[in-house]
């Protein structure tokens, strides 16, 4: 099925009202169509072709909730901007987890944003580990030492 055929079906679905038990007519909300990419590599290639090579980062995370669950996920993030970091710092004093979540969602590629939001709702602490990696890109160091002269 081609792109234009998909658009015709989408517009038909959007215009058809759905009968509810209440007797009122209501339209079905249809989520906007996202570009269909077959694999994560296609998404990476898409951004590389746009001239974003070196400005986008692949972040891989592994969720191991218990012995039965072991999921490895890859996300494509843009290089965090100073404005995004400033928003994080301003809101971190109110709620550090919400601040980190917002920081992570600010920098994820648009194609993965909804998926990441769903995952962050299911696994809220994942935002901290992803955000930590983004902060390393801005100069956060794992180890800093101080010595007396």
Whole-number pLDDT of residue 129: 92
Give me the helix-helix angle, 96-107 and 82-92, nearest 10°: 160
The pLDDT confidence band at residue 86, using thresholds 50, 70 and 90, is very high
Whole-number pLDDT of residue 12: 52
Domain ranges of the chain: 40-137
* DSSP-based three-state secondary structure for 58: strand
- Residue with the bigger pLDDT between 5 and 84: it is 84
The span from the CA of 93 to the CA of 133, in Å, is: 20
pLDDT at residue 13 greater than cutoff 80: no
Whole-number pLDDT of residue 38: 66
Phi-psi region of 55 (alpha: psi -120 to 50; beta: other; left: phi over 0): alpha
Q: Which CATH number fits domain 40-137: 3.40.50.620, 3.40.50.1820, 3.30.2220.10, 2.60.120.260?
A: 3.30.2220.10
pLDDT tens column, 16-62: 444 444 444 444 443 333 444 568 888 888 888 888 877 888 999 98
CB 133 within 8 A of CB 59: yes
Bridge-based pairing of strands 17-19 and 25-27 is antiparallel
Whole-number pLDDT of residue 39: 83
Mean pLDDT score, 107-116: 93
CA dihedral 38, 39, 40, 41 (to 10 degrees): -110
- The DSSP secondary structure of 59-83, one letter per residue, reads EEEEEEEETTEEEEEEEEEEPPPHH
The span from the CA of 131 to the CA of 98, in Å, is: 11
The pLDDT confidence band at residue 108, using thresholds 50, 70 and 90, is very high
């Amino acid at each position: 099925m081609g792109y234009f055929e998909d658009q015709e079906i989408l517009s038909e679905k959007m215009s058809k009202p759905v009968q509810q038990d209440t007797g009122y007519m209501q339209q079905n909300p249809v989520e906007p169509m996202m570009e269909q990419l077959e694999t994560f590599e296609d998404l990476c290639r898409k951004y590389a072709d746009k001239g974003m090579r070196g400005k986008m980062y692949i972040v891989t995370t592994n969720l191991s909730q218990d012995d039965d669950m072991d999921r490895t996920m890859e996300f494509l993030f843009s290089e965090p901007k100073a404005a995004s970091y400033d928003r994080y710092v301003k809101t971190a004093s109110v709620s550090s987890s919400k601040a980190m979540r917002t920081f992570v969602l600010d920098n994820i590629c648009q194609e993965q944003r909804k998926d990441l939001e769903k995952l962050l709702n299911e696994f809220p602490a994942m935002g901290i580990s992803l955000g930590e990696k983004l902060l390393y890109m801005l100069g956060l160091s794992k180890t800093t030492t101080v010595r007396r002269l």
